[in-house]
Amino acid sequence: MSVHTRETSCASDNDKILHKVEPGEKPFVCVTCNKAFAAKSYLKSHIMAMHSGERPFPCTMCDRKYTQKSHLKAHSSIAHAVEKPFVCDECEMRFEDNEELRKHTQTHAEQKPLACDVCNKIFQYESNLKKHKLIHIGEPYRISKTHFETHMKFHTNDQPPYVCKTCDKKFDTLSHLISHNLKTHDEYP
């Protein structure tokens, strides 16, 4: 059985003692509600969250405030999720705006292109070339169920929901339509 030692804080430095904490023991008790904790830091977090009324972590995008940084992060990722509608055609990486996408696509131009030794189709990434080569040897292409269902819409009467108003090209996602419009027609749909 291992024994951990922790120093507990007391009213003055002279009152400090060394406290042995056994596994499973919870020696730090909230004086307000009697809830016990294994670590002093857990007790402090509990008091801050449940009894102090303080909310030191404000959201910079709205008027919400939180007792813990992790709660603020969770709120931000849900309530203020940044949409990334601009998609790179080469690697499918997503970006918030067209300028970021343009900078990113320049990195592809700097890379040495890879050619399929069967049909000479050019690829920027080895992984894409490997996937492509599967069609030449009769191997099935693996795809997620979601992507497969989206792909199958092109082969059924279920038409893709996004259509370019300029050239009538159809897209299965809004981000692909936006990316197409910006690249092909230099306009935002």
Question: Tens digit of pLDDT for each residue in 22-33?
Answer: 778 899 999 999
Identity (one letter) of the amino acid at 42? Y
Q: Which residue has the higher pLDDT, 145 or 53?
A: 53
| Residue 167 DSSP label | T
Average pLDDT for 99-123:
76
Whose structure tokens read 């055609």? 89
Q: Which residue has the higher pLDDT, 150 or 168?
A: 168
**More reliable by pLDDT, 106 or 59:** 59
* pTM (two decimals): 0.31
How confident is the model at residue 140, as a pLDDT? 64
For residue 9, what pLDDT band results from cuts at 50, 70 and 90?
very low
* pLDDT at residue 19, as a whole number: 53
**CATH architecture observed for domain 112-142:** 2-Layer Sandwich (3.30)
Residue 39 tokens, joined: 């670590």
Better-scored residue on pLDDT, 11 or 185: 185
The arithmetic mean of pLDDT across residues 107-119, rounded, is 73
CA distance 22 to 4: 7
**Most confident residue range from 22-31, 48-57, 97-106, 120-129:** 22-31
Q: What secondary structure does DSSP assign to 45-111, as a single string?
A: HHHHHHTS----EE-SSSS-EESSHHHHHHHHHHHTPPP--EE-TTT--EESSHHHHHHHHHHHHHS
How far from each other are the two terminal CA atoms of the chain, in whole angstroms? 66
Gap between the Cα atoms of 80 and 61, Å rounded: 8
> Considering the chain, what is the average pLDDT of its residues?
73
How confident is the model over 115-138, as a mean pLDDT? 78
Q: What pLDDT shows up at residue 6? A: 42
pLDDT at position 1 is 31
* pLDDT band (50, 70, 90) for residue 125: confident
Which residues of the chain are in CATH 3.30.160 domains? 112-142
Confidence class for position 139, pLDDT limits 50, 70, 90: low
Q: What is the DSSP letter of 13?
A: G
